[in-house]
Structure 1
Amino acid sequence: MTDSRNAAWDTYARTKPQRRTTNSRGETTWFNWTQYPDHGPGVDVLRLRPGDRALDLGCGSGGNAAHLATLGVWVAGVDLSARQLAKARERWPDMDGWELHQGDALTYLRDTSTTFDAVYSVFGATWFTDPELLLPVLHTSLRPGGVCAFSQRPPVEGCYGCQASYIPRGPDEDPAVVRRWDFEPEEWTLILRDHGYVDVSASVITPPAGSRRTGTLLVRGVRGA
């Protein structure tokens, strides 16, 4: 199963361009929660300080993790796609303060002895992993008061729980299929509270003015004492 998921995300990586060289403010690294450039909240969602430790689940080509590393935060990035991680290493070959791991988010969390000040996922592993399995082990890896935050597309109305995502492949191949988990903001709030998170918030960030596309669901919770 993991091998087929790796292949699916490597396929996706071939179609995903690298992050822009700079953003609209001329910065070479930045944190982005949404699918739109220069839009939405920033790194302050995570309440991190220099010297803290963060975990990026589904780090992709490393843009958000690289930004945290430049702020003095130590970051572990985990992704199933070797191709995505190769993009990250190519873009930031001399980056200090991060480690990149190929593998499954659940496996990494179960195996690590590191305690994190924040665990986050931007259109990443929290979208594509059963929350009943992921949230308990994620909770264990957070320090008390640590932040769990993730963003993804809002659900299609009436399509909740485990759904299918299709990743295009070659012209003569069927799409690769991966599972994702979709819930309304209110349901995500209940799910996180049921797993011991407090100060939970979940809402949809509206898309940029003039866009007719969907917004971005942002969910955030804090590990209780």
Structure 2
Amino acid sequence: MSGSRWTDDPGVPRGATYDAGFERLAASGADVHGEATLVAALSPGRRVLDAGCGTGRVAIELARRGFAVTGVDLDPAMLAAAREKAPDLDWHQSDLAAFRTDERYDLAVLAGNVLIFVDPGTEAAVVAATAATLQPRGLLVAGFTVRGDGYGPADLDRDAAAAGLALVDRWSTWDRGPWHPGDRYQVSVHART
């Protein structure tokens, strides 16, 4: 696969423009590290894969908190921004559906709507490839906007089960707000069985 809904859309913000939005949020007092806070609380160990890492916001914050983090993204502009901010971290450019590594992680996170931006029809392959990087009892944490016309929580549960993962919990926010069917956002935790 050469692209995704993200990389194929010339109108989406990339690199420094993308980062500027989060800088404005942080300046307004918003917590822009909710994903990292949840991952840090859940991870059974210190090795994390940030799948669809973008400009590295989550990966860099996790590294600051003492985690060994690998970031993977398809978008070269996003990865360039990540590498500029944290050149010592482990960054890889790859389509997530095709990503392979001998490394094993305690937790893999798909933050920032990754699963709704991959090529339509590749979601199961992305979940499977990401799940394949997990240690026994490793966790897959995925957050995305739920739209009635696209990939949703039931699809994620199906694809995770096919990849050997079982649902552990689901919330409506990264700070563990209760989830109810019909919510517009979901954060799911699946564990390797």
CA shift at 1:67, angstroms?
0.8
Secondary structure, counterpart of 2:135 in structure 1: strand
Extract unaligned runs of 5+ from structure 1: 34-39, 161-181, 209-213
Change (3 A) 1:137 1:187: closer
Decide which of 50, 54, 57 is 2:51's aligned counterpart: 57
Cα deviation, 1:13-71, whole Å, max 9, x if unaligned, reads 16524332894798xx96334xxxxxx9633454254xx21111111110100011112
More helix per residue: 2
Kept in 2: contact 1:56–1:121 (CA 8 A): yes
TM-score by length of 2: 0.74
> Whole-Å Cα distance in 2 between the matches of residues 194 and 140 of structure 1?
11
Change (3 A) 1:32 1:9: farther
Instruction: Indicate the RMSD between aligned Cα atoms, in angstroms.
Output: 3.6
Q: Percent identity?
A: 24
Decide which of 95, 102, 114 is 1:113's aligned counterpart: 102
> Whole-Å Cα distance in 1 between the matches of residues 40 and 34 of structure 2?
11
Change (3 A) 1:223 1:10: farther
Decide which of 162, 169, 177 is 1:201's aligned counterpart: 169
Equivalent position amino acid for 1:136 in 2: A
Change (3 A) 1:201 1:104: same
Equivalent position amino acid for 1:116 in 2: Y
Question: Larger Cα Rg: Structure 1 or Structure 2?
Answer: 1
Decide which of 89, 92, 99 is 1:101's aligned counterpart: 92
Kept in 2: contact 1:78–1:103 (CA 8 A): yes
Secondary structure, counterpart of 1:72 in structure 2: coil
> Whole-Å Cα distance in 2 between the matches of residues 147 and 86 of structure 1?
28
Structure 1 residue runs of 4 or more that deviate by more than 2 Å after TM superposition: 3-12, 14-19, 21-26, 29-33, 40-46, 89-93, 123-127, 129-132, 134-140, 185-195, 198-208
Matches within 5 A, 1:20-35: 20=23, 23=26, 31-33=33-35
Equivalent position amino acid for 2:172 in 1: V
Matches within 5 A, 1:155-166: 155-156=147-148, 159-160=149-150
Residues paired across the two proteins, number? 181
> Whole-Å Cα distance in 2 between the matches of residues 187 and 121 of structure 1?
15
Question: Which shifted more, 98-107 or 122-131?
Answer: 122-131
Secondary structure, counterpart of 1:114 in structure 2: coil
> Whole-Å Cα distance in 1 between the matches of residues 140 and 61 of structure 2?
18
CA shift at 1:86, angstroms?
1.7
More strand per residue: 1
Kept in 2: contact 1:57–1:124 (CA 8 A): no
TM-score by length of 1: 0.65
Kept in 2: contact 1:206–1:215 (CA 8 A): no
